[in-house]
Amino acid sequence: MSKYVRQQGCKTLQNGEIVMNYHCCRSGTYKPKGKGLKNLKSQGSAKIGISCPAVIKVRQSTENVVVHYFPKHPNHETQLEHLRLSESDRTAIAGRLKEGVSKKEIFQDIREEITVDSGRKMLIEKKDIHNIKRDFNINGYVKRHEIDAQNYAQRLEKWAYCYRKGLGINTNMYLESLHEKIKYHYFDGKHVRRLDVAIDGLLKLVRDS
């Protein structure tokens, strides 16, 4: 039930052989991406903070492929909360979603089918369903911010300043969110002084909307 990932690209030797190493996915230290504003998951990071000796070493030549497998994970136990749903489970759930089966029914059926060999599937949660809908492009999947944009685009009186003259209110949470998106996504958090740069960023915002 272990997963192995390639942490770096292939290496080509002088004799033309290609070497690839696949390491345990829990090996290494957690490195947050972006600005570090997103909270860590409740179960913590899957990374164990040290190197796991479990590795798959592959050496490929024009004649054959040689694989050396080191399966032992002495530095950590197999914890279901840090495993991912298998592709077969994800595909099966995606098929049911496409058939119109509700999330509630899927959760109920999985709970009724749980056995000691169910693995990660026994811990399935709403986030897993959300990711499956996204990855399999299930009909009806729409990102939350796209739903908000659709709702508020048709309700100008809720956010347009021209509808609130004299009220002493010149902003709201949605405008502030938009300003933050423009500043950090299109201007990299910088204070823009040049008009041409500002116009270029706003044109990109319109293009992406």
Query: What pLDDT is recorded for position 138?
Result: 82
Q: Each residue of 95-123: pLDDT tens digit? A: 998 888 888 899 898 888 877 667 778 88
Q: What is the DSSP letter of 182?
A: I
pTM value > 0.85: no
Q: Is 103 helix (H, G, I), strand (E, B) or coil?
A: helix
Residue 176 identity (one-letter amino acid): E
Q: What is the DSSP letter of 83?
A: S
Percentage of the chain surpassing pLDDT 90? Answer: 20
Structure tokens at 153: 């685009």
Query: What pLDDT is recorded for position 148?
Result: 60
Q: Each residue of 40-94: pLDDT tens digit? A: 666 778 888 899 999 999 999 989 999 999 999 988 887 777 778 888 899 999 9
Q: What is the DSSP string of 68-79?
A: EEE---TT----
Q: What are phi and psi of 58, to 5 degrees?
A: -120, 130
Q: Each residue of 1-48: pLDDT tens digit? A: 578 889 888 899 999 999 999 999 899 988 877 666 566 666 778 888
Q: CA-CA distance, 76 to 47, in Å (whole number)?
A: 10
Residue 137 identity (one-letter amino acid): N
Place of tokens 């947050």: 32
Q: Each residue of 125-137: pLDDT tens digit? A: 888 888 888 888 8
